[in-house]
Amino acid sequence: MKSVILYYSRTGKTRFLAEKFQQELGGDLVEIRDLKKRKGPFGFLRGARDAHLGLNTEVAPSGFDLSKYELIILGTPVWASSPTPALNTFLQTCNLMDKKVILFVTSRGTGYRRAIDILKGKVEAKGGKVVGVGSVKTWLRGKKYLFRAGVELTKLWKTDIS
């Protein structure tokens, strides 16, 4: 099954997992970059506000073509118990008709269920079918922990998609 992992990451935790998933599952790996400044205290506050309001942003690449893929794996940090603006934008512009979708989020450990529910709703509105989800708490967690979480999640997903 041809697959692609698309993710947004501000500080590298979601990226680390996305790279681990690619090692385990193969397929393509694409970083969705947010072109708005998200660094520093103001970047943090604006990010939380934009995510809370469900806003979009400018991303690169924009208009990514998913036609050759059967399985789409989407990853985002949780911001203000919501998906990030970068993922909102991606989900508004993509076509997921009849695609299998796996969603994964990273967070300090709060609001991830709400974020996953919002993501699910957006995927289904675009015609996609969510076949797997994953949530990883990253607060005070090192790379060893993230590595193991990546292995465990891919084991689960392999049964979800087989």
Ligand X SMILES: Cc1cc2nc3c(=O)[nH]c(=O)nc-3n(C[C@H](O)[C@H](O)[C@H](O)COP(=O)(O)O)c2cc1C
Whole-number minimum distance, CB 127 to ligand X, in Å? 27
Q: Which residues contact 10 (CB under 8 A, 6 or more apart)?
A: 34, 38, 47, 77, 84
Which CB atom, from 5 or from 100, has the smaller least distance to ligand X? 5
Name the residue nearer to ligand X (CB basis): 100 or 153: 153
In sequence order, what are the residues at sequence separation of 6 or more whose Cβ sits closer than 8 angstroms to the Cβ of residue 52? 79, 80, 81, 82
The 10 Å Cβ neighbour count of residue 139 is: 10
Nearer to ligand X, 3 or 138 (CB): 138
Residues that bind ligand X (CB under 6 A): 9-15, 44, 47-48, 77-81, 106-111, 138
For ligand X, the closer CB: 71 or 115:
115
Query: Least Å distance between CB 68 and ligand X?
Result: 26
Query: At closest approach, how far in Å is the CB of 98 from ligand X?
Result: 29
Largest separation between any pair of C-alpha atoms in the chain: 44
Scan for tokens 């924009």, then name that residue.
Answer: 62
Q: Which residues contact 60 (CB under 8 A, 6 or more apart)?
A: 32, 33, 35
In angstroms, what is the minimal distance from the CB of 124 to ligand X?
A: 23
Q: How far apart are the first and last CA of the chain?
A: 10
State in angstroms the smallest separation of the CB of 72 from ligand X. Answer: 18
Q: Which is nearer to ligand X, 40 or 63 (CB)?
A: 40
